[in-house]
Structure 1
Amino acid sequence: MASTDSADVVVVGTGVVGCLIAEQALDAGLSVLMLEAGPRVDRWRIVENYRNLPPSMRLFHWDAPYPPKPWAPHLETRTPKEAEQYLQLEGPNARAYLQGYVRYAGGATWHWAGICWRLTPEDMRLKSLYGVGRDWPFAHDIIEPYYARAEYALGVCGPTDPAMQWPPNVKRSRPYPMGPTPFGPGEHRLTEVAASMGLMNIPAPQARNSGVAYNGRPACCGNNNCFPVCPIAAKYDAATALPKIEAKGGRILANAVVYRIETGDKKAVEAVHYFDPDKGTHRITAKVFVIACNGIETPKLLLFSKDDRNPNGVANSSDQVGRNMMDQPKLIADLELAEPLWTGVGPVQSSSIMNTTQGEFRSSHAGALLRMENFARSPLGAAAALKKGLVGKALDTEIRRLSACTARLTVEHEPLPWPDNRLTLSDKKDWLGINKPNIYYDVSDYVRRSAKDYTVPLLQKLADGLGATSFKLSPEFLNSDHIMGGCIMGADPTTSVVDADCRAHDHHNLFLPGGGAMPSGTASNSTLTMAALALKAADAIVDQLRHG
């Protein structure tokens, strides 16, 4: 056993949630040590990895520039061989939980789109209003100030016109730090078609600098490379936050795989244990522990920490750890069009149709977000043209046509927390001997009814309005990479894992913030809500350490 280290606050995970909590704790004068399972790398290295990928990998594998280390495996590609697969998946819709996170310092913020939607008040009261899902243990007016703080911490650009803001008819305590990014030609056209159907395509709030520098990051210059990495750091990623944390006195230890949470006689967490890349073991003590890995790695760690004091795993007296796994089940429609649409101007995602997420229909089927992907189509057009066996001028002409006259529409459905959608420990183990996560996933009839009767017909109408000559719908539900629900929040310790501050019901000095705590998934991206919960938890941590 190597020497023991210590800090006031130990944070496991260096994604957006961990970074926000670390900064708040440091600002309050607390000592902070952050542990990261994977490596810490420079941006140039990721950019070079991406440039050196074969074309087929560039098109479809956003996590490929992040090769996993033996001690920190993740899903290196989206089509792994079963024997090599890290995530063990089963259930009717297993493919819909093939998550693409990476175990690197900075986490999944390296390759996220930067989208920062807020929940609506209705999103937080599904059980009360519609008789489905769960209610949050606090109202929307409690989380609103934390949303505003998160927007300034991440540097979120968004519309200045209240009519274009989301949620509608909810007073904001602060304006967005920056105005919105402008629409490209394709998004302008989608907005017109949506309006003819009574739908609103509105600017998406984004953690991206729109025309100005902010928080030491440059303005977005439209690389259209948000997946898999912003080459200039105009988009927030936690990797840009780590040097700021160190400048404030925080310590960051990479390649440290936490595998055990140790509790004492009085249920307090006393230490975490980690493996280094040489399989050496180390013990870290603290006053408060924050497990901010993600919605898969956090419940996996809690379950793996099973011992005589915690026979079901740490924080799991309710048997809810690993249950209620959520992500927005996604369908995509690839279109060929009669006339050029020209997506690819600006960020990869800049707008969404949001009014389709709300309504009384939520008592019987899911709401859904619809959008057009704004990534440049030239790589896809080139790949498709080459498959046709064309050469010379004919090849050049077809690449140009497909680059201009193709598009992708996406719909992301609202999930409900189902206890049977569950993460357990597989009998298969990784390089360190830690059990891999096994996930059972069924999108449920709630989502299937929505797709059949509501969202796919809307996609078809949008496609028709855009002048589509071909409409190819994905044959199954896909992942959206928004991991939620495995450490669900609630007021009742018998039916939830954490309280309203993301503090574990079972252990007063253990916090499990982020997407895993969210009681409802909604149809919109989860990151801003995760960030708001992180700031709320940080306030509780600081208060607890100051006043006991």
Structure 2
Amino acid sequence: MSHELSADIVVIGSGICGSLVAERLARTGASVLILEAGPRVTRNQLVLYYRNAPRKGDWMAPYPPSRWAPHPTYEADWGSATDQDKPNVARQGSNEKGNGYLVQAGPTPYPAEYIRVVGGTTWHWAAHMWRLLPNDFRIKTLYGVGKDWPVTYDELDPYYQEGEERTGVSGAPNTGSPRTKPFPMEPVAEPWAMRRFRERLEPGGYPVVANTTARNSRAYDGRPPCCGANNCQPICPVDAQYHGGLAAASAEAAGARLLANAVVYRIEHDPAGRIAAVHYFDPDRTSHRVTGKSFVLAANGIESPKLLLMSVSDKYPTGIANGSGMVGRNLMDHPSSSLTFDAEDELWLGRGPQSPASINTFRDGPFRSEYAAFRLDFTNISQVRSAAEDLITAGVYGPEFEKQLRYRAAHQCNVKNVPEVLPHPDNRVVLSDQKDELGLPKPQVHFALGDYLHRCMEVAKREYTRIAELMGGTNLRFTPEREYANNQHIMGTVSMGDDPKDSVVDGFGRAHDHENLFIAGTGIMPTGATVNPTLTALALAFRTADQIAKT
């Protein structure tokens, strides 16, 4: 056992939530220590990895797993361009070839990918920073499904605003989420393709609006505006897009200490049930002990429950914070279907942000008592690579290849849905009997999708068809039935609630079972709604940090 470390506040995980909580608390004068399982990375290094990657469609190529802190990666048969912007497709009964870290228990595969490095998974994201709708917090009361939240939209409004200002968010004012203050900046210039979608679809009843994103349209917070490089995923080349690496750097600048390559494997409690320390392995499997007054668990929705479940004792035989038995349960995501088609207009996708616009009219309504709400999202990813791969696979070459490639690159486009999945206790993360190189159990995932979602997919398919008609679309290619793309929005596994019997933390993120343990991140969200969860998780994390500061 090496020497011990200590801090007033110990934060486990250096992603966007963990790092910005650490920064906020460090500015109060508290000593803050961040423990990150993975290594440090730099933007220059990641851009180089991506440039040298043999397959540019593999967005995880710049992020190889480390030996001591593995994360899941997959080599799925990506097939045609219908799945070109989301290679991880959850097929009923399929076996995606992966590195084996995330053990699949089925019946539906859950091929989540996330990154264990300093800064976390938001190094590699589309920078969507949406607010939920007010009704999303009350779907049980309003529609008889899911769960109500222990906080309201109005309570989160100032924290939403702070998250937007901290990360540099822009968006359209008409997404359904009320605002008391404007966005920090205007959206990035509308790409030509999105303009044509807007002009052709709005008369047909489909208003197309700019997505809400943490991406600079002008110089902001010392970072440049978007350069239109069109590789927001896997890495913005100029840091116009906010990410967890920036958050980690700001935490250190505020006085927090960050230890990389520190794999926390056990949470220790005292006889009264307060958390006394955490234990971590370094890459050589030397164990270290860290004491503190308050602890913030800010790993993602898979790694956080994994750590809690590993931390068993005589007093807590099912793990830390698990008196309800709900740790790891209620796993949610946003499984997407999509339509790829050839528009009548030349759209030439590929200039500007990869995911710039969407349709928000299906995010709420009485129908939610019967089927899932959803948002429709348009891709702006260049079609050259995917079209070329399809033509090569089909054996097209010579002048015909050039002709078809030019046509597809100009006309091919895609629309997908982002639907809500309801929490269900059988969808869960548990510990498998397989071990990683440090001897720690790999996480195992049980996941299934029900009729509430499948009925939504049928509705979405009708909307796809109508959108294609309005765009003069031909050559319609729907994703096969019940083959949904995983969006890597890992939610629900350490859910918040007022009742300690069916939740893990309270409305401030404090564990019901341990007064000095707090959890931050998307895992505490009781329901998933129809939008990317990062901004909501960050707003909740700021609220948690204020609660810690008060106590």
- TM-score if structure 2 supplies the norm length? 0.94
CA distance in 1, matches of 2:166, 2:52: 33
Unaligned runs of 5+ in 1: none
1:44-443 to 2 correspondence within 5 Å? 44-55=44-55, 58-59=56-57, 61-79=58-76, 84-94=99-109, 97-159=110-172, 164-168=173-177, 170=178, 172-210=179-217, 212-443=218-449
Does the Cα contact within 8 Å between 1:63 and 1:75 map onto a contact in 2? Answer: no
Given that 2:349 and 2:383 are in contact with CA atoms closer than 8 Å, whether structure 1 keeps it comes out as yes
Name structure 2 gaps, 5 residues minimum. Answer: 77-94
Whether the 8 Å contact between 2:73 and 2:99 is mirrored in structure 1 is no
Closer, same or farther: CA 335–131 of 1 in aligned 2, 3 Å: same
Q: 2:493 is aligned with what amino acid?
A: G
Q: Secondary structure at the match of 2:39?
A: coil
Deviation at 1:513, TM superposition (A): 1.3
The one-letter code of the counterpart of 2:227 is C
User: Are the aligned partners of 2:8 and 2:292 in contact in 1 as well (CA < 8 Å)?
Assistant: yes
The equivalent of 2:81 in structure 1 is none
Deviations 1:87-114 (A, max 9, x none): 11232322xx211211111111101100
Alpha-carbon spacing, 1:446–1:336, altered in 2? closer, same or farther (3 Å): same
**CA distance in structure 2 between the aligned counterparts of 1:467 and 1:92, rounded to whole angstroms:** 38
- Is the 2:16–2:248 Cα contact (8 Å) retained in structure 1? no
How much is the aligned-residue C-alpha RMSD, in angstroms? 1.5
The alpha carbon displacement at 1:392 in A equals 4.4
Shift of 1:469: 1.5
Give the aligned partner of residue 491 of structure 1.
498
SS of residue paired to 2:122:
helix
Match of 2:92 in 1: none
Matched residue type, 1:294: N
C-alpha distance in structure 1 between counterparts of 2:388 and 2:290, whole Å? 52
Residue 420 of structure 1, CA deviation? 0.8
Does the 8 A contact of 1:193 with 1:462 survive in 2?
Answer: no
What secondary structure sits across from 1:274 in the alignment?
Answer: strand
- What is the distance in 1 between the residues matched to 2:103 and 2:97? 8
Q: Deviations over 1:194-233 (max 9, x none)?
A: 32332222111110111x2111211111111111000111
- The answer as to whether partners of 2:6 and 2:290 remain within 8 angstroms in 1 is yes
* Amino acid aligned to 1:326: M
Of the structure 1 ranges 232-241 and 337-346, higher mean CA displacement relative to structure 2 is found in: 337-346
User: One-letter code of the match for 1:123?
Assistant: D
Residue 82 of structure 1 deviates from its aligned partner by 5.7
Partner of 2:537: 530
Work out whether residues 257 and 276 of structure 1, in 8 Å CA contact, stay in contact via their aligned partners in 2.
yes
Q: How far did residue 430 of structure 1 move? A: 0.9
> Could you tell me how far 1:368 is from its partner in structure 2?
0.6
The residue type paired with residue 384 of structure 1 is: D
Q: Secondary structure at the match of 1:439?
A: strand
Residues 34, 252 of structure 1: 8 Å contact kept: yes
Q: Deviations over 1:455-480 (max 9, x none)?
A: 11111111222222112222212211
Per the alignment, in what secondary structure is the counterpart of residue 329 of structure 1?
A: coil
Cα separation, 1, equivalents of 2:201 and 2:382: 21
Q: TM-score, normalised by structure 1?
A: 0.94
Partners of 2:175 and 2:542 lie apart in 1 by: 21
Q: Residues 68 and 437 of structure 2 are in contact (CA less than 8 Å); yes or no, is this contact kept in structure 1?
A: yes
User: Contact 1:34/1:251 (CA < 8 Å) preserved in 2?
Assistant: yes
Distance 1:86 1:196 in 2: 48
Distance 1:404 1:371 in 2: 19
Letter in 1 for 2:537: M
Aligned ranges for residues 25-40 of structure 1 at < 5 Å? Answer: 25-40=25-40
Distance 1:13 1:292 in 2: 5
Partner AA of 1:49 in structure 2:
Y
Whole-Å separation in 2 of the counterparts to 1:78 and 1:135: 38
Kept after mapping to 1: 8 A contact 2:340/2:477? yes
Mapped contact 1:117–1:205 kept (Cα < 8 A): yes
Identity of aligned residues (%): 44
Q: Match of 2:267, SS? A: strand
Equivalent position amino acid for 2:462 in 1: P
Shift of 1:81: 6.7
**Residue type at the aligned position of 1:456:** K
Compute the displacement of 1:324 (Å): 0.4
Q: Contact (CA 8 Å) 1:292, 1:298: kept in 2 or not? A: yes
Worse overlay, 473-482 or 519-528: 473-482
What secondary structure does 2:46 align onto? Answer: helix
Could you tell me which residue of structure 2 aligns to residue 468 of structure 1?
Answer: 473
Question: Does 2:457 correspond to 1:481?
Answer: no
> Matches of 2:181 and 2:26 in 1, distance apart?
24
**Inter-CA distance 506–93: structure 2 relative to 1 (3 Å threshold):** same
Distance 2:28 2:421 in 1: 37
- Give the one of 465, 490, 506 matched to 2:513: 506
* CA distance in 2: counterparts of 1:240 and 1:23, whole angstroms: 11
Helix, strand or coil at the partner of 1:46: helix
